[in-house]
Structure 1
């Protein structure tokens, strides 16, 4: 949790009071996330994954992307407690910038964020293809599964370039070749451009195409092979929530990159405000692993039926953890 370790003896009473107030606010938000959002997000991500994998035959193109997002969400769920309970300025050794554990978790976080953003982006593009050219199988489940494989591979390769900067910052005194790769801001700049700017442009372009084709009445509007209209609402909601929750994180990353490249640093009250906004943005980013599966659960019409079949198959053996789902499904089916 955020604390006032950054304060020093020169801070006046007003600065110390501001630091304490920001610390209290962020600590409350963190506790709410860890007590409420974290277990629910973990449960629903696992539920989304298991239910769809059990019903592979009935999976649609959007389901594959949401399964992909759920896997990345589980990774974020694993990282979240370590990140939120032990940032660098609490002097916790596990989260020291020069520690290998920190670097590993940071790379996992970057990979997960890239998978989430690009899965959402490609979902919007594939949805346009499905609307424009139904029954062409260009956005089929088979093709989407291979695309998701490329997403994970591309995320790993993209994060590898950032990994070089972080590693060289750690071992620059030992390896001469790393002398020109000590700039952490360069790694952050890569993540901002590839992880946010490119997906934002692609999503904007996809939405323009979707709105254009939905305004034009065509004989294909009555095509039975089209996706359920609820998918459009799910797409709009998922893309909107993803960018709302991830934009503050990338904005703070961009600010840090800009000031770092100019050799500037935050001091006094500006430093306290910056660290508060930085950790609040990370908390919002972690919240995407809670919001996405919950939204999918309530907006996907077929999910309750799939869950009901799974529960009948297990004969009530999965009552632990997500036991409340059984009563909810029974009400829906009734």
Structure 2
């Protein structure tokens, strides 16, 4: 939900009409996301995590990273309704949050974005290692689980370091030590560099290395422990979609940072357009929690059989289904 930004300048009717049209577009897009994309993304993220954790033995290295991305997507799903219906988009009294709630939502959003971007980056790097150095177990499931733990820890530390500037910007009148840290542009610069520039460079380097590997068939391709060829397509699509959905958000942070550094704050029509683009970019960022599990569901060949086995197990209970026992009994006979 989005309302027009009031300016000290006298706005003519045409500017107000454009502002209302932009607000209507963003409001309808937000409603569509909350009604359609939000429940689907929440359901598929939960299924992705549940199915893989119930089949830990058959999990591969990409599965661990996608489970990590799905958990971060669940966190985004919790933040999305409060952000899209929050005080930044509507003036409802029931959504009049205080600074503590705003800062908490910002922490969760930043942590989720960092986990998603770095999980995607390390997935591409580990996939290159798997292709270039098979049987070395450098990109094994065991190592990947520990790497994901470091990703969450690093995301928490990084988000808090940048969040310190936001906190001081809100409570600077209460704490004397924060008087020298009222710089929101520094927090944006930290998030842009660590959350986007570094992962983008690493992903580009990994994709260049992957594309340089020759696609000639070798005896190692017949190894049952080798990754499925469909993972290559899933990797390329997921990396492209993630950066396509998150680039506008970091671009708005860059615009805000540069305008603050140069002292040229946006006014009038430019300010309204900036708020519209920022709201739309946040909506696209939230959409990553909807797009990723759907791609994993349709492009990973092993997910559907695992899901059917899990549903059959839940339906039959501990005793097991007779349809599952009959083939085994026939083989024994």
Q: TM-score, normalised by structure 1?
A: 0.90
Q: Take 2:179 and 2:61, find their aligned partners in 1: how far apart are those partners?
A: 46
| Residue 136 of structure 1, CA deviation | 1.1
Distance apart, 1:90 and its partner CA: 3.1
1: CA distance, partners of 2:59 / 2:134: 17
Q: Is the 8 A contact 1:75 1:112 kept in 2?
A: yes
Q: State the alpha-carbon separation in 1 of the partners of residues 87 and 204 from structure 2.
A: 34
1:284 and 2:284 correspond: yes
Q: For residues 273 and 171 of structure 1, what CA distance do their matches in structure 2 show?
A: 29
Instruction: State how 1:245-264 maps to structure 2 within 5 Å.
Output: 245-264=245-264
- Larger radius of gyration between Structure 1 and Structure 2: 2
CA pair 131-93 structure 1, distance change in 2 beyond 3 A: farther
2:156 and 2:27 mapped to 1: Cα distance? Answer: 32
Residue in structure 1 matched with residue 189 of structure 2 by the alignment: 189
Q: Gaps spanning 5+ residues in structure 1: where? A: 318-334
Distance of 2:94 and 2:208 partners within structure 1: 45
C-alpha distance in structure 2 between counterparts of 1:97 and 1:161, whole Å: 23
> Which residue matches 1:326?
none
**1:307 matched to 2:307:** yes
Greater alpha carbon shift after TM alignment, 109-118 vs 129-138: 129-138
- Answering whether residue 11 of structure 2 is matched by residue 32 of structure 1, we say no
Q: CA deviation at 1:150?
A: 0.1
Partner of 2:61: 61
1:142 maps to which residue?
142
1:39-64: per-residue Cα shift (whole Å, max 9, x none)? 00000000001000000110000000
Native 8 Å contact 1:46 1:70 kept in 2: yes
TM superposition shift of 1:174? 2.4
Is this contact kept in 1: 2:165–2:181, CA < 8 A? yes
Structure 2 unaligned runs (5+)? 318-333
Q: Distance in 2 between matches of 1:171 and 1:89?
A: 23
Partners of 1:111 and 1:131 in 2: CA distance? 30
**CA 1:94–1:213: 2 relative to 1, 3 Å:** farther
Q: In the aligned structure 2, how far is the partner of 1:169 from the partner of 1:201?
A: 31
The TM-score, its normalising length taken from structure 2, stands at 0.91
Residues 94 and 101, structure 1, Cα contact 8 Å, conserved in 2: no
Equivalent residue, structure 2, for 1:11: 11
1:95/1:101 contact within 8 Å kept: no
Aligned to 1:4, what secondary structure does the other structure show?
coil
Shift of 1:169: 1.1
Match of 1:295 in 2: 295
Deviations 1:57-98 (CA, angstroms, capped at 9, x unpaired): 100000000000000000000000111112426345787796
Match of 2:243 in 1: 243
Residue 225 of structure 1: CA displacement?
A: 3.2
Matched, 1:88 2:71: no
More divergent stretch after superposition (5-14 vs 78-87): 5-14
